[in-house]
Structure 1
Amino acid sequence: MTTLFNIFLMLHIAGGSLGLITGTISLVRKKGDKPHRAIGKLFSYGMLTAGSSAFVLSVLHPNYFLFIVGVFTIYMVSTGYRYIYLKLLGKDQKPALLDWTITTAMGLTGAIFIALGIYKLIGHDNFGIVFIVFGGLSLRFVKTDVDNYRGKIKAKNYWLLCHLQRMIGAYIASATAFLVVNSKFVPFLPPVAIWLIPTVVLVPLIIIWSKKYHVKLQGK
């Protein structure tokens, strides 16, 4: 069991490091060109490796940190990547069973996050705030998925907005994991603050870029 854990731990570290580096590069450089697409693929591979291995690690040795990072990362990267191929929703395209499966799983997990968060807060454990924040964000993205899959499109380039939002969301998970693992270097910050700093800093960036790139549908 120890050997298996160490193998997945190395995969998690390697994938997370690749995701953090390529994600940072993607954030600061030009979007949409060939290098961006190449870097984006590396980011997706790295984050899916990190997320999948984190989920396995959380099962081998139950750990809230790894479970949240794993589930949130897998969902964000998977849907962000899938939206590149879902450009005609609301017209003649229908989401695949895989799309509904990923979104449904995240919806159930997000609800569980919120329930656990409330339970922990009732027990005077402030870590419940982290569960509620990540659960709330997850359900917000899930609602967007459901609307899009049902043809309730709110932007002409909805697929681009969703791709951008999900990939930054995955980067938030990567940055959060990095800060949590290295929290010993900032002992003056409470654990809850360390968990939420990337979210507080980067969610406004999601909002700003979403408004910048939003293309309205005719008549709306």
Structure 2
Amino acid sequence: MSVLEVSSASPALVHAAAAVVLYLHIGAGTVGLLAGAAVFVFRKGSRWHRRLGNVFVVAMLLMSAIGATVAPFLPKPERASVIAGVLTFYLVLSSWAAVKRKPGQFGAFDYGLLLTALGVVGFSAYLGVLAAESPNGKLDGQPAAAFVLFIIIGTLAALGDLRLILARGVSGATRLARHLWRMTAAFFIAANALFLGQPQVFPKTLRGFLFLPAPLILGLLLYWLGHVGYGAYRRRKTRPTASMP
């Protein structure tokens, strides 16, 4: 996120508030990324996994909310950051809800999630067209491909919300996979925003390696989704079948 620009004539309280917002955004993002990386180290369901997961959720919700709210009011408005912030907030919130709510539970909250995902897809498509039609193929410094990524993630999320609504809730491996991919996708967006979106904060010797977190996170996501799917498959295969009368 760009630095908040405050007029020199503004009261000291305004300058202090701008600084607090900026450092809260940076601090929450840093804590969220560290907690997200640590979550992968601990066994799923363990005490430390749950504790660090809670830290990740709070930090990411705070970071994304600040980013989405402040981005339109920067000296140069960043519409892509609005989408990234809203999408990250939505992914983290829906992922957290997937494991905190009872299996099979659903309600008005899920309809709100679906509308949010559809809104992200629609706005991303609109901005993607503007980026593609611009002379340099970018909008607010972001290439059209960035908006395509938001469209893909938002569409997958909307389909998942629709499936949950039609099934009137999810449980078992489906519920766990919903939690897992959404939390990891949010982590992926946040990591890219730092490593690829703010390369200037890293030493020049490291900038050639800033692309590495993205495929690493995607690899972890594929591994754990495969692990969850294989575990569900094994449980179905080993489940005793009822004898024929």
For the aligned pair, the TM-score class normalised by the smaller chain equals: 0.7 to 0.9
Q: Where does the alignment leave 5 or more consecutive residues of structure 1 unmatched?
A: none
CA displacement at 1:157 relative to structure 2: 1.7
Segment of structure 1 superposing worse, 15-24 or 148-157: 148-157
Contact kept? 2:117, 2:157, Cα under 8 Å? no
Q: How many residues align?
A: 212
For the pair shown, the structure with the greater C-alpha radius of gyration is: 2
Inter-partner Cα distance in structure 2 for 1:69 and 1:177:
9
Inter-partner Cα distance in structure 2 for 1:64 and 1:197:
26
Q: Quick one: which of 89, 93, 97 aligns to 1:74?
A: 89
Q: What residue is the counterpart of 2:221 in the other structure?
A: 206
Q: Quick one: which of 16, 31, 34 aligns to 1:18?
A: 31
Contact kept? 1:86, 1:159, Cα under 8 Å? no
Contact kept? 2:29, 2:63, Cα under 8 Å? yes
Q: Where does the alignment leave 5 or more consecutive residues of structure 2 unmatched?
A: 7-13, 238-245
Amino acid at match of 2:116: A
Inter-partner Cα distance in structure 2 for 1:186 and 1:155:
46
Normalising by structure 2, what TM-score?
0.75
Q: What residue is the counterpart of 1:56 in the other structure?
A: 69
Change (3 A) 1:209 1:153: farther
Q: What aligned pairs does 1:107-186 form with structure 2 within 5 A after superposition?
A: 107-123=118-134, 124-126=136-138, 127-151=143-167, 156-184=172-200, 185=202
Change (3 A) 1:88 1:57: same
**Alignment RMSD (CA, Å):** 3.0
Higher relative contact order (CA 8 A, sep 6+): 1
Inter-partner Cα distance in structure 1 for 2:205 and 2:196:
13
Amino acid at match of 2:137: D
Normalising by structure 1, what TM-score?
0.83
Amino acid at match of 2:19: N
2:55 maps to 1:42: yes
